[in-house]
Amino acid sequence: NDKFLSPDFYALDSLLTDEQKLVRDSTREFIKKEVSPIIEECADKHIFPNWLLPKFGEMGCFGPSIPTEYGGGGMDYISYGLIMQEVERGDSGMRSMASVQSSLVMYPIYQFGNEAQRNKYLPKLATGEWLGCFGLTEPNHGSNPSGMLTTIKDMGDHYLLNGSKMWITNSPEADIAVVWAKNEEGRIKGVIVEKGMEGFSAPVIKEKWSLRASVTGELVFDNVKIPKENMLPNKDGLGAPLMCLDSARYGISWGALGAAMDCYDTARRYATERIQFGKPIAGFQLTQKKLAEMLTEITKAQLLSWRLGTLMNEGKATTAQISMAKRNNVEIAINIARESRQILGGMGITGEYPIMRHMANLESVLTYEGTHDIHLLILGREITGIPAFE
Ligand code: TGC
Ligand code: FAD
């Protein structure tokens, strides 16, 4: 089916509203037209296609769940998930850029910011005129952000920010950074740091073999003077960044599905066309086993994300439920990428097909937003009541 609706083995479509289907299909068309033709070259040459940012904004990929009065899409969480699915069908790096902008920059400004902050930043982030990033991870505090060393000190008429952040998606290109730092009492606070502030730099991390079309960097703060009005007033503590992560991890559960679907579709088409021993390789039982198992895992993962989306809409989804979906869906996606690569034989390792790019990208997705094992431990804590982190 060239409308490219596959796979939809359990008729998930019939659980979607017309608006949700419209959003999904228009995002798919946009990605097919604007991203797919350039993405292989961008990944090959390590280029972040920043010229696409206004188009992503126009398509409603930034802040889909933020109310329209601030330039957002005013949509529900299933629509948000479907957008992430279609963007990541194109490339996980593009989805990273979009999910950071939506869940990790616009979301905290909307949830924890005041009216002036919402009005100043959200409309420009929604259109893609501004790009944002989220600084939680530090060189020595990744899985354990509560140990962070970055500090924010009250100097009376301003704050002073010192420290550094590592592995920050979008940072070298970002106009603003939502940064998490500890105050004099050791309480975690969120502040908005703007490009050009004295003492602030965002060096790029070079030579990644994963997410090559996404730009990643550091954030370095050397006595940066932060105006008082840049602090997010409405929530503090580690719970604030963890709430942002809930939203982003949910989106990733759908996004990884998009990458898995693209690999599955590629392998299915290839298997029906590639002839060996006088017949299409799709006719061999071992190929059918691979395809049948891929479709099964995609279908299970779709239902997991869909149900999670309905719980998100009701405000009832828990962190542990989100961990299960992020962990499961990224794992099945990476396994599907690997199996699809095998179906394509030698062709599978080339840039003629998207599979190796997806596979390499998904290695980062497995690690960021909480590693695969951290999500397992979040589930372990939920089941037993005993945290096994320390
Ligand atoms: P823990 O004791 O669990 O919680 C600390 C405080 O936060 C509260 N809390 C929440 N509040 C609201 N919503 C939630 N979902 C919350 N979860 C927790 C909690 O009640 C507690 O409050 P209080 O008042 O008692 O202090 O914290 P912990 O230090 O034990 O940490 C637990 C752990 C390990 C699960 C957590 O630190 C964790 O998730 N670590 C992984 C770090 C991570 O995911 N980093 C991601 C960085 S951003 C990123 O990777 C972006 S990539 C983007 C892209 O390109 O797509
Ligand atoms: P570590 O925490 O050092 O973990 C190393 C290994 O030890 C992992 O396998 C982990 O599972 C394991 N481990 C750690 N603790 C335990 C434990 N208690 N029990 C068992 N095993 C454990 N961060 C941001 O703040 N903003 C961003 O925009 C952002 N973008 C990113 C983009 C990319 C491409 C990458 C790779 C990372 C990004 N990150 C970002 C950082 C990401 O969230 C961290 O890499 C991740 O949380 C893991 O931290 P770490 O790399 O320091 O690994």
Distance CA 99, CA 102 (A): 5
Judge if the beta carbon of residue 318 lies within 6 A of ligand 1. Answer: no
3-state secondary structure string across 262-278: HHHHHHHHHHHHCEECC
pLDDT at 210: 98
Judge if the beta carbon of residue 367 lies within 6 A of ligand 2. Answer: yes
| Complex-level ipTM beyond the 0.85 threshold | yes
Judge if the beta carbon of residue 388 lies within 6 A of ligand 1. Answer: no
Query: By alpha-carbon position, which residue is closest to atom 48 of ligand 1?
Result: 369
* CA of 241, nearest ligand number: 1
SS3 154: strand
Distance CA 369, CA 364 (A): 9
Query: By alpha-carbon position, which residue is closest to atom 39 of ligand 1?
Result: 370
Distance CA 255, CA 223 (A): 38
pLDDT at 294: 97
Query: By alpha-carbon position, which residue is closest to atom 34 of ligand 2?
Result: 364
Query: By alpha-carbon position, which residue is closest to atom 4 of ligand 2?
Result: 143
pLDDT at 5: 57
Contacts of 48 (CB under 8 A, 6+ apart): 42, 93, 97, 173, 213, 214, 215
Contacts of 253 (CB under 8 A, 6+ apart): 81, 301, 304, 305, 308, 322, 325, 326, 328, 329, 330
In the set 86, 138, 173, 369, the catalytic residue is: 369
Q: Which atom of ligand 2 is nearest to the CA of 143?
A: 2
pLDDT tens for residues 121-130? 999 999 999 9
* CA of 168, nearest ligand number: 2
C-alpha Rg value of the chain to the nearest Å: 21
Mutate to test the pocket of ligand 1, among 238, 308, 362 (most ligand atoms within 8 A of CB): 238
Q: Which atom of ligand 1 is nearest to the CA of 146?
A: 29
- Cis check: omega of the bond before 7, within 30 degrees of 0: yes
Distance CA 345, CA 341 (A): 7
Could you tell me if 295 and 257 are in contact, meaning their C-beta atoms sit under 8 angstroms apart? no
Distance CA 159, CA 168 (A): 22
For the chain, residues with pLDDT lower than 70 are 1-5
Q: Are strands 158-169 and 176-182 parallel, antiparallel or unpaired?
A: unpaired
Q: Which atom of ligand 1 is nearest to the CA of 211?
A: 55
Task: Read off the tokens for 53.
Answer: 């940012």
Judge if the beta carbon of residue 172 lies within 6 A of ligand 2. Answer: no
Distance CA 61, CA 55 (A): 9
Judge if the beta carbon of residue 376 lies within 6 A of ligand 2. Answer: no
Judge if the beta carbon of residue 370 lies within 6 A of ligand 1. Answer: yes
Task: Read off the tokens for 346.
Answer: 């030698």
Distance 338 CA to ligand 2 centre (A): 23
pLDDT at 390: 83
Query: By alpha-carbon position, which residue is closest to atom 8 of ligand 1?
Result: 239
Query: By alpha-carbon position, which residue is closest to atom 50 of ligand 2?
Result: 142
Query: By alpha-carbon position, which residue is closest to atom 47 of ligand 1?
Result: 369
Judge if the beta carbon of residue 180 lies within 6 A of ligand 2. Answer: no
Judge if the beta carbon of residue 352 lies within 6 A of ligand 2. Answer: no
> Annotated catalytic, 229?
no
Q: Which atom of ligand 2 is nearest to the CA of 140?
A: 52
Task: Read off the tokens for 181.
Answer: 């730092």
Distance 177 CA to ligand 1 centre (A): 19
Q: Residue 117: enclosing H or E segment and its boundaries? A: helix 115-127
